[in-house]
Amino acid sequence: MSHAQDSGLGYFSEVETNIPVAAELPPPFGRLEAIIRLSLGFFLVASCAVVLMSIMVLMLPFRLARIRAGNIYGHLVGRAVLWMGRWVPEKIGFERLQDFTPAIYVSNHTSAMDIFSGMWLCPIGGCAVAKKELLLVPFFGQAYWLAGHLLIDRGNRASAIAGMNKTSALVEKNDLSIWMWPEGTRSRDGRLGRFKKGFAHMALATKLPIRPIIVHDAHRYWPARSLRFAQDRYE
């Protein structure tokens, strides 16, 4: 039986069960159904991103408003994509974090699935931090950038630091939160990877409290670079 450890910080944890964890997953969707679901999910993300970008263009001088509009997009689209994958998220302890905003929310990263979980959970007024390669994702990457969130060029240290300093000043001035995946890339086996230096830089610059968010076993429900995924409840 697996037990969720309650640290009072807010996280996802495994559902308690007498069945071994390895035996919990149902069979994955068939290839055709998986492709149809992924296609519908991409269409939803892209079409809503186009609408968001149209609004963002009119709000270019107002970064705070763009960040909050992007958060609303994330809440709606993130949850809808999870529904399309027939993943049923259950939040444990997350309500306790509402008293700690603004803060730096750090989440583990093992699958695209936890990206959509993060979009859904990120509080309104939360500025996300991601690597610049996200800009290459059609529609979504451009909407993310227009929404005022931070893209870091890990190959250009000076540019990355300048961007983080600017965002840190914005966060401090306007009582915003930060949401980031400090590992910088997906873990294939579900183990927590080494954090990138940008995480420490943002924490020191903003002096915000750090609130860890954990998504359990996302790499098993939807493995990286795979069209096969399984439906189930997760926490």
Domain range list for the chain: 30-225
Lowest mean pLDDT among 54-58, 135-139, 212-216: 212-216
Mean pLDDT on 41-70? 94
Q: In the prediction, which pLDDT does 22 show?
A: 46
The contacts found for 34-39 with CB under 8 angstroms, 24 or more apart, are 34/227, 34/228, 34/229, 35/227, 37/84, 37/85, 38/227
Q: Look at residues 162, 128, 116, 149 and name the one whose alpha carbon lies nearest to residue 12.
A: 116
pLDDT at 172: 87
pLDDT, tens digit, 9 for 90 and up, residues 164-175: 888 888 888 888
State the pTM of this model: 0.80
Average pLDDT over residues 192-206: 81
Asked if 151 contacts 202 with a C-beta cutoff of 8 angstroms, the reply is no
Eight-state DSSP code of residue 11? B
Identify the residue with better confidence: 217 or 118.
Answer: 118
What pLDDT shows up at residue 184? Answer: 74
Instruction: Report the percent of the chain where pLDDT is more than 70.
Output: 85
Question: What is the band of 186 on the pLDDT scale with cuts at 50, 70, 90?
Answer: confident
Residues 6+ apart with CB under 8 A from 110: 186, 187, 188, 190, 215, 217, 218, 219, 224
107, 215 contact by CB (below 8 A): yes
Q: What is the pLDDT of residues 83-135, one digit of tens each?
A: 988 888 777 777 766 666 788 988 888 888 888 988 998 889 999 988 888 89
Cα–Cα distance, 139 to 125 (Å, whole number): 22
- Contact assessment for residue 171 and residue 102, using Cβ atoms and an 8 Å cutoff: yes
For the chain, the average pLDDT equals 80
- Quickly state the pLDDT bin for 67 (edges 50, 70, 90): very high
How do residues 22-35 score in pLDDT, each as one tens digit? 446 667 777 888 88
Rg (C-alpha) for the chain, rounded Å, is 18
- pLDDT of 15: 37
Q: What is the DSSP string of 120-162?
A: HHSPTTEEEEEEGGGGGSTTHHHHHHHTT-EEE-TT-HHHHHH
Longest distance between any two alpha carbons in the chain, whole Å = 55
